[in-house]
Structure 1
Amino acid sequence: MNIALDNKWDSGMSDFSIENLNNVDCILHGRKTGEGFIPYWTDVANNANDSEHKLGKRFSEIPNIIFSNTLKESKWDNTTILKGNIKDAIQDLKSQNGKDIIVYGGESFVSSLIEHNLIDEYYLLINPVAIGSEQPIFNPLKNNLQLTLAKCKPFACGVVLLCYSRQK
């Protein structure tokens, strides 16, 4: 899911992100997102003068997994490439002991996770900026996705977090 991180990002959102990351021990990405996300946050973590240094450090401490059938090996520290059948691979990850897995991925990767019913909770950050050319993450849905609102948190900058749990 692509979220514009412009002047709307504030310290409350940064604090929430760090708190949320304390509940995970794995960050899962699609290839395209991983190739941008990991180097960006590594640079932030390595720059003590960056306003998001603390968040960047937290991102860089958590192991990353990039799901890709085209990448042969990882170019980044603390990153593994996962290949094969996405449904089987993610179900195997979910069956392992540990904390939660968080996903940062583009619309095609997230859509494939949704299609295979692999997401338990959806954290949607609604930014009051309209971007007309983005692809919907809920496309193509073959069946209705039944979700229950678990949390709603507004931030001072105007962004709203909506957390939904999947009904089983």
Structure 2
Amino acid sequence: MGRIVVMNHVTLDGVFQGPGRADEDTRGGFTQGGWGQRAATPDDAVGKAMGERMAAGGGLAGWLFGRRTYEDLLASWNAQGGPFKDALNDSHKYVASTTLDEPLPWPNSTLLRGDVVEALRALKARSGGVLGIMGSGVLIGSLMAADLIDEYLLMTHPLVLGTGRRLFAGGAHVSLRLIDSVTSATGVLIATYEPARDRT
């Protein structure tokens, strides 16, 4: 069985909107995009942590994206180039959307139709590795409500923005257990949590 792992950058007040670029996500008049660059991690602690989480779960089986994150990553990383572009192009991508049509524009992409939660429950059951999620707050909320997320790798930046879309919003509730943490040289707390499910 696969593992669904959320991998997101957040601020101390839980904002995950637009960490990469000023124009990444301006919904709701958000003007503080690019905040993740204020505490960059030159020691590559984030990349190391992501690699370790994927390896610990049997390797990357694919990425799960909502439409907005899928389109943004497609536009941004294919324009930038570099090793992350090749890794994303070569990996399988599963996209939750009610507005996109096949064929999807990015190689190795599958559109999830119908009941996304049930589609991902089935995908998780037949997968042998990590199904990673970046961005995709609406999708994360749906999977959290269905208790399908196995792990959260959160890179918490030492910033409070006061505005912006929050990762855990809309009355979300889940008890988490810390499994591992490290602080980068720039003060980013890289922590791995798992749901505190009853293990009896």
Match of 2:193 in 1: 164
* Amino acid corresponding to residue 48 of structure 2 in structure 1: D
- Whether 2:83 is the aligned partner of 1:54: answer yes
Q: 1:60 to 1:20 in 2, by over 3 A?
A: farther
Name which of 113, 124, 142 aligns with 1:83: 113
State the Cα distance separating 1:88 from its structure 2 match: 0.5
Give the paired residue count: 160
Assess if the C-alpha contact under 8 Å between 1:26 and 1:102 holds in 2: yes
* Amino acid corresponding to residue 17 of structure 1 in structure 2: M
Stretches of structure 2 that go unaligned for 5 or more consecutive residues are 1-15, 20-35
- Whether 2:68 is the aligned partner of 1:32: answer yes
Name which of 69, 74, 93 aligns with 2:98: 69
Give the TM-score normalised by the residue count of structure 1. Answer: 0.82
Higher mean displacement: 56-65 or 112-121? 56-65
Q: Counterparts of 2:37 and 2:184 in 1: how far apart (Å)?
A: 14
- The answer to which structure, 1 or 2, has the higher relative contact order (CA under 8 A, 6+ apart) is 2
Stretches of structure 1 that go unaligned for 5 or more consecutive residues are 47-52
* Amino acid corresponding to residue 6 of structure 1 in structure 2: Q
Give the TM-score normalised by the residue count of structure 2. Answer: 0.70
State the Cα distance separating 1:43 from its structure 2 match: 3.2
Assess if the C-alpha contact under 8 Å between 2:177 and 2:195 holds in 1: yes
Q: Counterparts of 2:54 and 2:86 in 1: how far apart (Å)?
A: 11
- Whether 2:37 is the aligned partner of 1:6: answer yes
Please show how residues 108-119 of structure 1 align to structure 2 within 5 Å. 108-119=138-149
Name which of 171, 177, 194 aligns with 1:148: 177
State the Cα distance separating 1:6 from its structure 2 match: 1.1
Higher mean displacement: 98-107 or 12-21? 12-21
- Whether 2:78 is the aligned partner of 1:42: answer yes
* Amino acid corresponding to residue 177 of structure 2 in structure 1: T
Assess if the C-alpha contact under 8 Å between 1:18 and 1:58 holds in 2: no
RMSD: 2.1
Deviations 1:88-131 (A, max 9, x none): 01101100132110012332222122122111111111012222
Q: Counterparts of 1:17 and 1:155 in 2: how far apart (Å)?
A: 13
* Amino acid corresponding to residue 2 of structure 1 in structure 2: Q
Q: Counterparts of 1:117 and 1:140 in 2: how far apart (Å)?
A: 16
